[in-house]
Amino acid sequence: MGKRWVPVAVLAGVLFGVNVIGRVAAKLFAEKDDDKQITIGLVALGVIGVIVLGMAVRWTQRYPMNRVWGTLGGAVLAACAASVLIGPLLVGETPFAEGAGLFFRQIWWYLGMSLAAGAFGALAVMTFGKDWKSQAWKRYAEQANAKPRKVVRR
C-alpha cells in the first residue's frame, strides 16, 4: 500500500515546489510590480499544468482511468492545499493577507488548470488509442483473430 501513495506524494511535492519557486521569484524580482507578479504566477501555473499534463499522459498509458484520476486528484488536491495554506507562509505572508476572494481564486485557478491539463493529456492518449483499455482491447482482438493451435495426433 505504501508504494501506491509514493507517486502521489512525489507529484504533490513537485507541484508544491514549483509554486514555492514562483512565490519566491515574485517576492525577489517583483515585490512592488503587480504586472510582473501576475506574469510570474501565470508562468508557475503554466509549469504546473505542463507537469500535470505529462503525468496524465504517462499514467493513462499504464493504468486504468480510475487509478489515474485518483492519483492525479490526490496529488493535485494535496499540492493545492499546501500551496495555498503553506506557500504564503514561506515568503513571509499569511494565506488570507489579500482577503478571502484571492484565497479562493487561487484555489479555483490551481484546480481548474490542473483539471484541464489532466483531462487534455488523458483525452489525447485515448484519442491515439494508447491508453490502458485500448491496448487491452487491441491485444484481445489480436488473440481472437489468431489462428487456433493445430492439434497434432500421434
pLDDT tens digits, the chain, 154 residues: what are they?
578 889 999 999 999 999 999 999 998 988 888 889 889 999 999 999 999 999 999 999 999 999 999 999 999 999 999 999 998 898 888 888 888 888 899 999 999 999 999 999 999 999 999 988 888 888 888 888 877 777 777 7
User: What is the domain range of residue 35?
Assistant: 2-145
Instruction: With respect to residue 151, please indicate whether it lies within any of the assigned structural domains.
Output: no
Per-residue pLDDT at 1: 59
Closest by CA to 74, choosing from 21, 4, 125, is 4
Residue 154 domain-assigned (yes or no): no
Residue 82 belongs to a domain: yes
Instruction: Give the chain's domain count.
Output: 1
Is the residue at 153 inside a domain? no
